[in-house]
Amino acid sequence: MPPLLPGNPDAEPTANDAWLRSWEDRTPDGIAPAGGAVADQAAPAARPGEAGALCPVDRLPRRRRNQMCIGIIALGLLNYLVYTLTYAALGGDAHNGHRAVLVQANGKRVSQYYIRGHFLHSLDGYERVVSRATWLYSYIHSISVPLTSGAMLISMLVLARPHILATMRGGFFSGQTFVTAFGTIIVLATAGATFMIAWNFVVALTSG
């Protein structure tokens, strides 16, 4: 196999190349190689011509930013694990259930709260009556799941961002465009899912 042709040595490096190279020249997590002493390095400066950092997260030192992202990912996974265990223990959640208003013989209106778990017992699920406190907790926990899931995805994107920028350099579109577009999709999807569940919660709580 013939050797690959080297790039043009006389070509002037662009501002983008210099900015991205500053990421590649840094050691992982700010750890200095063999006898060096690099402590909690800050992110590289903004590209020439830009008023500030390319992304707000670049204003944080790299190690601190990575620790925050890892912490958010861990909390998100823990929240999802607790939700799954609670779902299994209760046999469902309030989002899949409903609230019913019953009129007693004396004319008094009483609310009953139901949870339902799809596919746990049957395709349609199995309903059971729970207390108001349990129903409220279950519904609020359901609202938190898309929020923490979106935060996890954004944190993963922040951790992968330097590698995406370096890998997609010189491609059809820039790595920063990809990161911005993907991050925007995550934010919109998270906001939409959270709004829908929260709206259903308000309707179920105030109807009847």
pLDDT, position 47: 47
**What pLDDT was estimated at residue 21?**
57
Identify which of 160, 164, 166 has the alpha carbon closest to the alpha carbon of residue 22. 166
Specify whether the CB–CB gap between 76 and 152 falls below 8 A: yes
State the pLDDT at residue 207.
Answer: 82
Of all residues in the chain, what percent are helix, strand and coil, respectively (each to 5)?
Answer: 55, 15, 30
Judge if pTM exceeds 0.95: no
Residue pair 43/61 in contact (Cβ under 8 Å)? The answer is yes
If the chain, 208 residues long, is cut into consecutive pieces of 10 residues, what is the mean pLDDT of each piece?
50 53 49 45 47 64 92 97 93 90 83 82 72 95 96 96 88 86 96 96 87
